[in-house]
Amino acid sequence: MLGVLILNTGTPDAPTPEAIRPYLKQFLSDRNLINVPRLIWKPVLNFCILPNRPKKTAAHYQQFWTEEGSPFLLTSLVQRDKLRARLTELMGEPVAVELGMRYGNPSTKSAIEALLDAGVSRIVVVPLYPQETKACAGTCLEEFERAFGEAMAERPKRTRPEVRTISHYWNAPGYLDALAQSVRDAWSYEPGKKLVVSFHSIPVSFQAAGDTYPESTKATAEGLASKLGIAPEDVVLTYQSRFDSRKWLGPFLEPELRRLAAEGAHDVAVVCPIFSVDCIETSYEVGTEAREEFVSAAREAGTEAPNFTYIPALGAADSVIGVLANLIMAKGA
C-alpha cells in the first residue's frame, strides 16, 4: 500500500499568547533557521522573545482565525483529503495520505505513525514548498528523518517502508499553469500594471553554502511572467519575512512597493508562490501590511485611486492537487 506524507510549516493551536508561545519556541529553536550557539540563543529566546512576541503575534492571528479553527490547518486538511481521493482514483486502490507539520500539530511523527499503522509498504514524502530551501523543505525532511527513525525504533518488528521524497515542484508539469491561472482569476494584466512575485527570504549565508533557492525563485518568476504574457519591466521579484539582523536575500517587498509607488505605479498585484497555503506571512504581512504600505505611498506620490491585489495561495485548488498527484504517482508507483 502506498502512503503519502505531506508536510508544511505549521500553525499554533489557538490565536492566543499561551498557544503561540510553545509554537514559537519550537520554531525559533530550529537550528536550520537560527544557527546561533545555544548558550547565546537560549537566553535571548526565553527571556527576550518569548515573554513579548506571542502577545503581539496573537493579535495578528485573531484577525484571520475562524470558528472552525486555523485557516492554515483547515486548508491543509482539505489538501490532504483531496489528494487522498485523487490518488485513490488514479491508482484504483486505497492510498493513505497524512498531514504533518514541522512545528505544532499534527506533528510529523503522529502522521508517520498513522501511515505505519495503516500498513503502508512505501512512503512518498512531499514538503509543500514548490521551491526548495534548507529553511523550508530542508528542515521538514530533516524532521521527517528524525521522527521516522524514532517511530521505527518503537516498532522493532515492523518492516521498514521504502521512502522516497519530492523536494520541490516548481518545474513540475502543470505547476506554472496552475499558478498563472490563479493570477488571472484575481487580477487582469495590462501594460503598466505591475506583478510582484514575492518569496520568503533566506539568510544570504544559505546561498553562499550552496542553497539553490535563489535560482528557483527567479526561474519561477520568469516562467510565471511568460505564461501570463507580462512584459519583463512589469514583473518584480522580491523577498519577505526576514526576522533577525542577519543579511537576508533581497530586494525586500515593502521597499520595492514604495519604489513602484514613487514611480507612478497605480495597480499592483502580489503573488507569493513559496506559500502553498495562506498563512500569517501572506494574509497579514502582504494582505494587510504591504497593502497599506503601497496604497499610502501611492497616494503620497499623487495616485488618486491606487489598486493593490493579493493573489491567494493555490491551497487546495484542483489544478495543484492534480500536479501533486501526478508527481506522487511517478515517484511512488
Q: What are phi and psi of 149, to 5 degrees?
A: -60, -40
Residue owning grid cell 506533528: 107
Contact 202, 211 (CB under 8 A): yes
- Annotated ligand binding at 168? The verdict is no
Instruction: Note if the bond before 251 is cis, omega within 30 degrees.
Output: yes
**Angstrom distance (rounded) from CA 199 to CA 291:** 16
What number of CA atoms fall less than 13 Å from residue 300's CA on the CB side?
12
The verdict on whether residue 142 carries a ligand-binding annotation is: no
Cell numbers standing for residue 241: 519575512
Question: How many C-beta atoms surround the C-beta of residue 59 within 10 A?
Answer: 11
CB-count exposure of residue 300 (10 Å: 0-12, 13-18, 19+): exposed
**How far, in Å, CA of 203 to CA of 324, rounded?**
28
> Residue positions in the annotated binding site?
200, 281
> Residue positions in the annotated binding site for Fe(2+)?
200, 281
